[in-house]
Amino acid sequence: MFSTAFLDLPPLAGAAGTVRLPGSKSISNRVLLLAALASGTTTIHDLLDSDDTRVMLGALRALGCGIEPAGSSLRITGLGGQLPPSLGTTLLPLFLGNAGTAMRPLTAALSLLGGEFELSGVPRMHERPIGDLVDALTQLGCRIDYLGNPGYPPLRIHPVSHDELALGAPIRVRGDVSSQFLTALLLALPLAAANDIVIEVVGELISKPYIEITLNLLARFGITVRRDGWERFTIPAGSRYSSPGEIHVEADASSASYFIALGAIATGVSGQDGIRIEGVGAASIQGDIRFIDAAKQMGALVDSGPNWLEIRRGAWPLKAIDLDANHIPDAAMTLAVMALYADGPSLLRNIASWRVKETDRIDAMANELQKLGATVEAGPDFIRIHPLPVADWLPASIRTYDDHRVAMCFSLAAFNPAGVPVRILEPHCVAKTFPDYFETLFSVAEASEVPVICIDGPTASGKGTLAAEVARLLGYHYLDSGSLYRVTGLAARRAGLEANAANEAQIAALAAALPLQFTEGKVLLAGEDVSDDIRTEAAGMDASRVSALPAVREALQDLQHRFRRLPGLVADGRDMGTVIFPDAALKVFLTAGAAQRAERRHKQLISKGISTTLDSLRSDLEARDARDSSRSVAPLKPAQDARHLDNSQLSIEHSIDTVLNWWQQVQPFKSA
């Protein structure tokens, strides 16, 4: 997951390949609550691991549920519909972040379990309405206080006994604000179903497919709800939750929308065509799978099987769409970005629920689409998007409003025909439902040019520390080119290959396939930390020997090029900007006086218990500078277009800020 302040997406040229999606958030949190309320133990397979599910799991642990990992699955021992005696009447505070799929159902369930609870969340959660659910619960006799603004969390729930509840008359709940209110009641009321309990929906029920998910899962846990259309639901007398033993969570159909759209938008790459999605098929119980129908209307070609989808580009430009999107409220946001590639204005209607989601999504989408250059009209329950001609696309910093779906759907704007980049602010918000979203996107996407920052300089100038930190702050890959010959020498020694001409081809083959990774200041070879192994005197001698073999140098040059992967690369060495990446967008030549470098190296060695003197270190560095500068192959010298940075008197923080400021200057985004 990217935890950076922003993530720059270079212009993406195409995409093809296979993706496997995480489990559905809607199914995951429903299953977790049902397993917690049920008798027995439920093993849950393919559960989504995200912010929302972690919030729910934290609450269930606090309530006394047994939660045990079982390999890649999770085993939950339920409460059997009763709180453990240990909770008694003690106030239990529960923090639920911005997880509506935890706040709403837990409010209903805890109101009927008989304990004393305080439910709170992030500031945005305290702006999301819950009054209609609370009104429905107080009709029954539940005791709930608002701790802030009436109608909104945080809440204080007081215990009541089932004898105090008024369950004879139908419970009325509004259906035109959020389907989560009805879902919450359906999930919780079996706790009190000594007799039939009837729920009546007031107004038009929105997001009906999410209620279908709820009813389907209730049936899996032994509760068969009778319904009369979408207006009246009856929970039968004597209903009891019972564990199904095992249950599999479908992949998230809402998350599938981004890759369905990707298949419709992107041309193929590397001889492949189309996107294959594994983990969910057209027969999914999730309502957002009907996004497929909308994508087909816009021109996508879709094939499907029991647990997979394949999408290819069909009509181009895409066909404009006029759609009542009430049945796919989350996935419809993806259509708003697809509309930029259409042949006319597209209208999404009946989406008033967007305004009470993680953010006001109608305003958010309108604002950010306009940053890209689009003409947008928005109203109380609709948004109309005009397509963008090639010449009108603008590079834009997309504000995400801490809303995962805003971040994910706007990533598709990087496939624009104008070849302009897109910056996603606070990309970590995707952790709510799809922590590895961007990594998954990059696994199938291809850029016409992946950005590179080169930081070259003499030994002990601090280029490795600087480059690694710049890479971390940008979310880019990092290449420590100075370690390559040492790792190659180590690999050759371990393979029993002496570094000579007779073994040149074999060592070159080893070098070409080195499974290297540079992370958190470590050099990993096939996952093994070899940072100390390659810093020995013997490793230095091995490095010198293999570097004399031309085939090895060529293989390592190819290996360095393969580090150039999305979203970008920061590479340090002595010839990154002159030989390896001469087209890099930013080249930095880092220098420092020999005295300062010797002092830094002295402190480093002394801290490791290695005895040395400043004079000897300075002499060694000056001699190495002379050798490196006079090499016949890839000598140490700044690229003609490199920016010089003398850090003799600078802190590492100042050096980092300088390089990041230079990077901003060569980007079309003037600020993060």
Q: How many Å apart are CA 525 and CA 119, to the nearest integer?
A: 47
For residue 633 the two structure tokens come to 């192959």
- Report whether 402 contacts 358 (CB < 8 A): yes
Is 26 labelled a binding residue? yes
Q: How far is CA 612 from CA 347, 609, 621, in A?
A: 73, 10, 13
Is 458 labelled a binding residue? yes
- Report whether 31 contacts 217 (CB < 8 A): yes
Per DSSP, helices labelled H in 630-665 are 652-665
DSSP 8-state assignment for residue 342: B
Is 462 labelled a binding residue? yes
Distance between first and last Cα of the chain: 19
pLDDT at 544: 79
Is 432 labelled a binding residue? yes
pLDDT at 78: 97
Is 457 labelled a binding residue? yes
Radius of gyration of the chain (CA): 29
Give me the catalytic one of 51, 52, 288, 330: 330
Neighbours of 93 (CB within 10 A): 12
Nearest to 317 by CA among 383, 264, 372: 264
- Report whether 194 contacts 239 (CB < 8 A): no
- The domains located in the chain, with CATH, are 6-22+250-447 (3.65.10.10), 85-242 (3.65.10.10), 452-666 (3.40.50.300)
Give 3-state DSSP helix, strand, coil % of the chain, rounded to 5. 40, 20, 35
For the question of whether the overall pTM of this predicted structure is more than 0.85, the answer is yes
Is 77 labelled a binding residue? no
Full DSSP string of 578-627: III-TT-SEEEEEE--HHHHHHHHHHHHHHTT----HHHHHHHHHHHHHH
Averages of pLDDT over runs of 10 residues in the chain (672 residues) are 95 97 93 97 95 96 95 94 84 94 96 94 95 94 96 96 91 88 96 95 89 95 96 96 95 96 95 94 92 98 94 98 94 97 98 93 98 98 97 97 97 97 97 96 96 92 92 96 92 92 94 92 93 84 85 94 97 94 97 74 70 71 69 79 93 95 91 54
Q: How many Å apart are CA 453 and CA 463, to the nearest integer?
A: 12
Q: Is 646 one of the annotated active-site residues of the chain?
A: no
Is 207 labelled a binding residue? yes
